[in-house]
Chains A and B, each alone.
Chain A
C-alpha cells in the first residue's frame, strides 16, 4: 500500500543533513511551510543551500538557520529583509560570508520546472545584457539575445498545501501554489505540510501536485499566527 503520510516533523525531514540543498515554497506569505521551516531550524544540518523566492520568510520563521551561520549559499529572487535594518543574512552577504545567487523570478521557476522535467538547460531573453547574465552563454534567437540558464534540482523541497491524501496528491487553496509544483518536480525528497490529510483520496481532477512528485505528507495546523515576516 502506498502511504506517504508521516506523523512528526522529524520523520518529515529525515535525511536532511550537512550540505543539503533545500527548496522552500512561499510567495506573499501564502504556501510557506512554517512547521517544516521550524523543523529545519531545530536540526543540526549545516552548509545548507537555501533555494526560495524570498529569504525573509525563512529568516522570519526560522531565524537560527541564518543567525547560526548554517547557510553557505542562497538562490533567490529576493534576499532583502523588510524595513531599513540589516538582517543576519544581509550582513553575512555584505561581509562576503554568504554566497547569494540572484535569479529573475520567471527564470527561477523555469529552472526548477526544467530540472524536474528532464530539460538540462534553456535559452531565455530574460536578463540578457544585465549583470545577471555575466558568464552565461549568449545566442540570438529571433533577432534577440538570449542567455543559457541551467536546470536546478535540490535534495529537499518543503511546501505548504491545503489538503493531501496518502498517495501524496496535493490540493492548494488561494495563492498557496506558487513555486510548489516546480519545487516538487525538482527535488529528490518533497515534503508537504497540509492543513488536512484526507482519509479518502482527493478528487483526481482537482489535484495541483500529482503524488508522483511527493515523498512525504504531514498534517500541521497553520502556524503563522496572523504574522507575515
Chain B
C-alpha cells in the first residue's frame, strides 16, 4: 500500500477542488495549510472570520504586524483586492450564504452529513466552539479534512456521531489520508481511494457502510 497522505498532502488534495473566483474559509489547524497549495494562476479569495477577505501568506518577520492576524493569531499578509471589516460583517458573509466553500477539521462525520468537530470531551481542557457552527450552516459547500481513523484506529466516518454535533446534515465532502468521500442522500460515496488499499480495507477502517463510485479514482498527491 502507498503511504497514507501526510497532513500537507491532504491539504494539497483539498486545494485541487478550489477554483477561480471562489471565496473560501479555512479552519484552524490542518485546513489553513490548504492555502499553500491553491492552484497556481487561479484567484481564490480566502476569508478569515476575524474580518478579512483576501488573506495572503504568513508575514515575514520583517513585515509581521501584530494588528494584522488571522483567526488563528498568525501574523499574515493581504493579497491585492483584500478587504478588512468587523466581526458582524465577517459573520454576515458566513451566515448569509456568501461563502462558496468552508474547509474544517473534524473529529467525526456521519453518513447523514452530521459533523462533530468542536467538543472532544477532554477532561482537563475548556470548551471552544469558535465559528464552526456558523460556517457549516452558512457556507454553500462544507468540506472536512481529517485522518480516516483516530490515533487508536477507531473509525471517524460513522453511522451516527458520538461526540457533540457542530451541525446536522451539512457535510458535502471528506478528505482523509486514505480516501476522498462524498456525503450523498444515500450515505458515504467513495470517490478516490489510496493506491494499493482495497475497498474492503477502507470499509474495515470506517464505521458506516461505504458505497464506491463506479469509476472511483486513485488518491495521490505529490511528495511535499
Contacts and interface: CB of A to CB of B under 8 A. Distances in A.
Interface of A: 27-31, 53, 55, 77-81, 84, 86-87, 89-90, 93-94, 100, 102-107, 109-110, 112-113, 124-132, 162, 173-182, 208, 222, 224, 226, 228
B69 interface: yes
Contacts of A77: 128-131
Given A27-B71, A100-B126, A226-B66, A130 B133 contact: yes
Chain A interface main SS type: loop
Nearest to B116: A130
Contacts of B199: none
12 contacts: A78-B129, A89-B126, A104-B129, A106-B138, A126-B95, A126-B133, A129-B168, A174-B67, A175-B68, A175-B70, A175-B84, A182-B86
Given A126-B137, A127-B137, 19 more contacts: A28-B71, A30-B50, A77-B128, A77-B130, A79-B127, A80-B126, A80-B128, A87-B126, A90-B124, A90-B125, A94-B126, A105-B130, A106-B138, A126-B95, A131-B119, A173-B68, A175-B52, A178-B50, A178-B90
B86 A224 contact: no
Contacts of B167: 129-130
Given A127-B133, A128-B168, A175-B68, A106 B51 contact: no
A45 to B, nearest CB: 23
B131 A105 contact: yes
Contacts of B74: 28
Contacts of A27: 50-51, 69, 71, 87
A109 B86 CA distance: 9
Contacts of B66: 29-30, 222, 224, 226, 228
A229 B48 CA distance: 20
Contacts of A181: 86-88
Contact of B91 (A86, A109, A180): A109
Given A28-B71, A128-B168, A174 B84 contact: yes
